[in-house]
Amino acid sequence: MGYVSARGGLDAIRAAERLVRRLRLTSESSWLEEDQILEKLRLLVDRVMGEAGLWAPRLAAKALRQSEGDATEAVHLLRAYRSTLPRFAYSEPADADDVSVERRIVPAFQRVPGSQLLGRSVDYTARFLERQSDDLAREEAEKLRSEASGTPDDERSEAHADGDTPQRSPQRLLEMLREMDLVVDRRRADDPEPFDITRTPARPPAARSALLSSMTRADTGALVNQWYRNILGPDGYLHEVTLGEVRHGAIDVEVRHPVTGLPVCVSSVRVTEVEAIEDLEGVDEDRTKFDVGYGLCFGHNERKAIAMANLDIACHRDAGRTQLEQSLLLTTDALDSAGFLEHLKLPHYVTFRSMIERKFAMRKARNRDAS
């Protein structure tokens, strides 16, 4: 019998699993410690936690190690693990003004109350690939280590751009613009509870909190692409905003104690927060004022937060005229898009057989009409 379908069965699956495991665990180099991943690949860990929608640095490090650096796979591992756990509590609302900033820039003004604080950033560093030998790099590391001990926080002393002493919780530019009566008031009462996208699918028309939640958990690349597509793409037009705030810092998360009913701090998370100032020019808009878009995501991921803030205000102004909202809600999740793309690898011989059958049926119909 000549026909063997492309199937492996249990044995084949087990063999593939063993192969992956063996090559991952027995490679030549030394064991990759979680701390190494957390410290040396911190931005990757942040990104994975943001896309997973789960603040769990150690689990994210484990996931990245297991996925051999495949960020989307790591997100999948984290979210699937999350599915096994019950949800006990919802956190108390956190005030973004309580973020203790490690970095804060305000591109809209040269000098701002609270100061610009560049913090840890390569934005202004020439992108030269460092090619020195590992030995030299280790030497430099030793030298820096000895310098750092005993000197004041170099981040604070060196990095703020003007003479003021940077504050850890500076007043935000938006508040100042509000005081100047330059911002439309878009605070609304019809979306009081945050929409939980993990429990209810967000579909257009959706609450703003649903849109923001979807974007904060979106694939970073997808969100950047949505932004750029609307700048340069064939079917969208989006303003470039002026950034009011770009912040990165830590904030406490509290839940209410089930017995005492009092808020208890359960964790501290780092977030990137962006406020994007939009110039209004639509016919039914107040042209004498600005509007503001908001972005916030887990970890240090400015690219994502900026795209999010700009898309937030773009979506509000679009008001359902285009399908921007649908694009953001439905096409930016890393697992949805990657999973569906990869499902094309599954066998499709039943559907293909049906397709071939219709091709011949069409021909038969054509020949019948011709004769």
Partner 1 sequence: MLLDDLINPTQSDELLDEFAKREIRRAMLAAVAIPGYQVPFGSREMPVARGWGSGGLQITLAVVHDDDVVKVIDQGDDDGVNAVNLRRLVTTSTGADQTSVAAEASVIQSRHRIPEDGLDEESILVLQVPVPEPLRGVERDMRELARMHAEADYSRMWVSLYEDKVRNGVITQTTGYPCLVNERYVVATTPIPRWDIPRLHESPFLTLFGAGREKRIYAIPPRTKVEPLTFDDVPFEVEDADGASCAMCKSSDAFLVSLPNSDVWMCSDTDWCRRTREANA
**Chain residues that interact with partner 1, rule: CB under 8 A:** 1-3, 5, 7-10, 12-13, 76, 79-80, 82-88, 196, 198-201, 203-205, 320, 323, 326, 330, 335-336, 338-343, 346-351, 353-355, 357-358, 361-362, 365-366, 368-369
Separation of alpha carbons 229 and 212, rounded Å: 19
Nearer to partner 1 (CB atom), residue 53 or residue 249: 53
Nearer to partner 1 (CB atom), residue 43 or residue 355: 355
Nearer to partner 1 (CB atom), residue 69 or residue 138: 69
Let me know: does 263 contact 254? Beta carbons within 8 Å: yes
Nearest approach in angstroms of CB 349 to partner 1 is 5
Nearer to partner 1 (CB atom), residue 2 or residue 163: 2
Nearest approach in angstroms of CB 114 to partner 1 is 40
Let me know: does 44 contact 298? Beta carbons within 8 Å: no
Nearer to partner 1 (CB atom), residue 150 or residue 258: 258
Cα Dmax for the chain: 95
Nearest approach in angstroms of CB 223 to partner 1 is 18
Nearest approach in angstroms of CB 213 to partner 1 is 13
Nearer to partner 1 (CB atom), residue 80 or residue 184: 80
Nearest approach in angstroms of CB 324 to partner 1 is 12
For β-strands 263-279 and 100-105, DSSP reports them as unpaired
Nearest approach in angstroms of CB 84 to partner 1 is 5
Nearer to partner 1 (CB atom), residue 113 or residue 204: 204
Cα 361 to Cα 352, 355, 365, 371: the distances in Å are: 14, 10, 6, 15
CA-based nearest residue to 93, from 254, 248, 214, 247: 254
Nearest approach in angstroms of CB 3 to partner 1 is 6
Q: Which long-range contacts (CB under 8 A, 24 or more apart) does 32-38 make?
A: 32/65, 34/58, 34/61, 34/62, 34/65, 35/61, 37/61, 37/64, 37/65
Separation of alpha carbons 52 and 218, rounded Å: 9
Tokens read off for 299: 């970890």
User: Could you write out the DSSP letters of every residue in 193-230?
Assistant: SPP-TTTS---SS--HHHHHHHHHTS-HHHHHHHHHHH
Nearer to partner 1 (CB atom), residue 265 or residue 356: 356
User: Could you write out the DSSP letters of every residue in 264-281?
Assistant: EEEEEEEEEEEEEEEE--
Nearer to partner 1 (CB atom), residue 76 or residue 160: 76
The secondary element (H helix, E strand) that includes residue 243 is: strand 242-256
Let me know: does 249 contact 103? Beta carbons within 8 Å: yes
Separation of alpha carbons 72 and 93, rounded Å: 29
Nearest approach in angstroms of CB 129 to partner 1 is 34
Looking at residue 251, what DSSP letter applies? E
Looking at residue 235, what DSSP letter applies? S
Nearest approach in angstroms of CB 271 to partner 1 is 22
Nearer to partner 1 (CB atom), residue 127 or residue 353: 353
Tokens read off for 66: 């297991």
**Helix residue spans in 116-254 (DSSP H):** 134-148, 154-159, 173-179, 208-216, 220-232
Nearest approach in angstroms of CB 363 to partner 1 is 9
